[in-house]
Amino acid sequence: MKPKLLVTREVFDETLDYLAQHCEVESNQQDIPLDPGTLAQRLRDKDGVACCLTDRIDDQLLASCPQLKVVANIAVGYNNIDLAACTARGVMATNTPEVLTDTTADLAFALMLATARRLTEAEAYIRAGQWQGWHLKQMLGVDVHHATLGIIGMGRIGRVIARRAQGFEMRVIYHDPVRLAADIEQRLKATYASKDELLAQADFVILQMPYMPQTHHLIGAAELKKMKPSAILINSTRGGIVDDAALIRALKDGTIRAAGLDTFEGEPQLNPGFLELKNVVLAPHIGSSTEATRRAMAMTAAKNAVAALTGGTPPNVLNPEAKSNK
């Protein structure tokens, strides 16, 4: 008998075809997020789940599906999963690193350029029929080239952003709990800085770390005050890392110049204060959303799930020790 797997949200046909070769698949192709009760009920008899960051996989849910062996997240971030609870209950959890690194770095860069050059504001101006003609002081932005870029979180995506920055001849400084080896710093032309030094010097601050209790409100009112009034903040990693209410105040009173945001606290219910501001560029958590990358993420998750359900160790297992707890 094939193992039973639930796919909680819409995926691509090739993902379902691949899964169907190995599993008995039930999928939610209507793509309406499953509420916790429905998710628990549909997972009760399942051996595996391919899920998304919109699904909360916590201990209570795991307790109600004792057969579950694998939680395959279709995302690199996994703050929707209680990893310790998975490990304790012998459930392997997996994510999708690597396949989205470049795409997500591109979006961070796109937000930086769009915010610096006021692109969404400019487009809204044209669409509103306000453009009367060229003039010298129109929509003055700031330069990205030769500016100082501060990257907080120098993992895979942070490093790729640093490489992109070389093309714009930017000075790159970074902060991370773990300092990079000297040869990597050299290759990336990135200089280590304390968080405070980075906040004080950067023209652009890009956040690129996972959300976890230690990174909750890593950027709040105090940190925003340490930034230059001309600085721009980019958050395309996870909501909750920035105190959004404090950011709105800082954008209103000129503590910083602007922000480019792809992730929000409590998304998709973002703080309505953002909508009143011209100096933000807003995107609906599309960092990894290109056709090729989303297909690759779904297939990576599918392969992780199948590996776990056929007795193997998934390539992207986050808690290999879970296997021995089942």
Taking Cα atoms as reference points, which of 268, 267, 233 lies closest to residue 249?
233
Instruction: Give all strands of the β-sheet with 232-235 in edge-to-edge order.
Output: 190-192, 171-175, 148-152, 204-207, 232-235, 258-261, 280-282
Least Å distance, CB 280 to ligand DGY, is: 19
Residues that bind ligand DGY (CB under 6 A): 53, 75-77, 100, 287-288
CB of 300 vs ligand DGY, minimal distance in Å: 10
Which CB sits closer to ligand DGY, 12 or 192?
A: 12
Q: Which is nearer to ligand DGY, 77 or 240 (CB)?
A: 77
Is position 175 annotated as part of the catalytic site? no
CA distance 265 to 244: 7
Q: Is 117 a catalytic residue?
A: no
Q: How far is CA 168 from CA 157, 165, 190, in A?
A: 17, 5, 14
Question: Among residues 3 and 287, whose Cβ is nearest to ligand DGY?
Answer: 287
The catalytic position among 238, 257, 265, 294 is 238
Q: How far is the CB of 39 from ligand DGY (least distance, A)?
A: 19
User: Closest CB to ligand DGY among 255 and 316?
Assistant: 316
Concerning whether 267 is annotated as a catalytic residue, the answer is yes
CB of 105 to ligand DGY, least distance (A): 12
**Lookup: tokens for 111:** 């937000």
Q: Which of 9, 22, 164, 285 is catalytic?
A: 285
The secondary structure of 24-47, three-state, reads EEEECCCCCCCCHHHHHHHHCCCC
19: closest CA among 46, 44, 45? Answer: 46
The single residue of 121, 223, 265, 267 carrying the catalytic annotation is 267
Residues catalogued as catalytic: 238, 267, 285
